[in-house]
Structure 1
Amino acid sequence: MGLSRKRQRELNRLKRGASELWDDQRDVLDHATKVVKEARRQLSNVSREEFVPRVRDLYESRVRPGVETGLEVGRNVAGAARDKVSRDVLPAVSSALGTALAALEVARSPQVRQALSRVARSTSKTVAPAKPSSGPGRYILIGVGLVAAAGVAYAAWQTLRADDELWVSDEPEPPTSD
């Protein structure tokens, strides 16, 4: 199937236009690549000259002192805790362990076992089990708790109330003549 001359010319013109368009697009893409490379270079320069020094100064003036202070406080707290444990806790624990071991040794003694069994036999025959009763301590603790709750409620009320007479005026009041 053959094309007419007119159609062949239009087709050739269209091919030439497409080829020119492709060349123009390639030139535009080359130019855009150059612009992007230059923008990247400028951004790198600005970052190196402006942003990095500001971040470094901010770090040196605000972050680093806070971190160093926090580390120093942490070291002090750890040292104080270590001293407290070695001075107070370890002696108390070792004393309690020693006492517990001594009590176990005494409890293993055959004489103590015999004495305990004799006491248990004699008391089980004569003494009835004691019924637990509530003493005055329970009521004293309830009273102390109620007084503490009332004190907290009163303090909250004093804090939150709107009383204009609590403020003292800065100007002296003129004397009243009666």
Structure 2
Amino acid sequence: MGLSRKRRRELGRLKRGASELWDDQKDVLEHASKVVREARRQLSNVSREEVAPRVRDAFENRVRPGVESGLEAGRQFADAAGRKVTRDVLPAVSSALGTALAALEVAKSPQVRRALSRVGTASRAVVPAKAAPGPGRYLLIGIGIVAAAGIAYAAWQTLRADDELWVSDELEA
């Protein structure tokens, strides 16, 4: 198929635009990864500096006096609850953020991208989760509409009969 120079230039511009969009998306993923890392670090600091002391203070000032005056079973329950909060809940939140960060890092891995491209048609059996529409989706839809309009206009210009009628009128005269 022989394309005109104009069409080749347009296709080249479209290809450069898609490449720039892809580079921008990679930059966004890198920035999101940095934000998640910083959020994890800040959450760790906040839990160590703010949450853990408050939990300890609440336990010491509110729970322990009632437990000490009450039954031994109440004391054991409160101790276990305090340990659960400081040992299980706070690390679980930090771990969840770490897992999200790891998922972002894996998604950027070239090996993962190559493996997904090799899966190809076999992945059609898996139904992907529906992503929330973002600005990139609308940008791509807009580019597709403009491209379709350009193709339709080029076809209309190529197939319209006005040019041939005008040329044949001059030849008759």
Same fold (TM over 0.5): no
The structure richer in helix per residue is 2
Which TM bucket (shorter chain)? 0.3 to 0.5
Larger Rg: 1 or 2?
1
TM-score scaled by structure 2?
A: 0.39
Q: Which gives a bigger RCO, structure 1 or 2 (Cα 8 Å, sep 6+)?
A: 2
TM-score scaled by structure 1?
A: 0.38
